[in-house]
Structure 1
């Protein structure tokens, strides 16, 4: 299933060159992930209740086209990798400018963290299921953990 969020950019998102500052792209990608979780009924309160939260190991942004002051954007979410129990995941976000041109690609590699033990964990079933319906990239690969390799 395709997932895309439209955003109205803010003055604070832009730098002295009147284009979107580099960290704003990643902020919008993070916001789209939280909105994706929320679409499946997982809120920040569920993270606290279940004592599980998402963490990132890597975040890589490739900038392709400027986004200028006053432009609105859209950000999608696709899965590029997932482990068998959903404990680790790779997500790709594409950021499009107001003309629909691809402006940036953001790839993140993350996992679920047990907030009490501060260790990686297999998430509750509710959390595992959120990525099963997500659109996958053409180069999707299962993430094999050391115990599975």
Structure 2
């Protein structure tokens, strides 16, 4: 699949007292990108509510490379860094780009799917696993193996 990209404008609410985008706003744009990818492919928030399913994060790591400033256009991409065979676990690397194309940050997330009724980890429907597998592969991509932990 070709890259799924979105462009946003850095807002006043994203700013910190140093005059650049606050650290947590980078994660907010990465999360927005993931939700828009799912939604653009038919997996909207109402779908997830009805299915009793939701994505959750285990880890989020942000690497800050260049400052972003108010009213700058920011382009966000997402690449798959890992996926378990059953689709229950996934890793995505988001890159946030400055208007000149230089990376401003990377946001790497490790996640899974939660059954919202039982509050336990679950395997998503096959069509969600297929969609996740269509994301472009990040250079660090590795197949994931389920196991261990409190599943």
Q: TM-score range by the shorter chain?
A: over 0.9
Match of 1:71 in 2: 72
| Alpha-carbon separation, structure 1, partners of 2:68 and 2:113 | 32
Moved more, 122-131 or 15-24: 122-131
- TM-score normalised to the size of structure 1? 0.95
Match of 1:86 in 2: 87
Please provide the CA RMSD for this pair.
Answer: 1.0
Match of 2:30 in 1: 29
| Alpha-carbon separation, structure 1, partners of 2:82 and 2:121 | 17
- TM-score normalised to the size of structure 2? 0.94
The question of whether the paired residues in 1 share the 8 Å contact of 2:83 and 2:133 is answered with no
Match of 1:46 in 2: 47
Runs of 4+ in 1 over 6 A off after TM superposition: none
**SS of match in other structure, 2:66:** coil
| Alpha-carbon separation, structure 1, partners of 2:10 and 2:70 | 8
Counterparts of residues 1-149 of structure 1 (less than 5 Å): 1-146=2-147
| Alpha-carbon separation, structure 2, partners of 1:128 and 1:69 | 36
**SS of match in other structure, 1:77:** strand
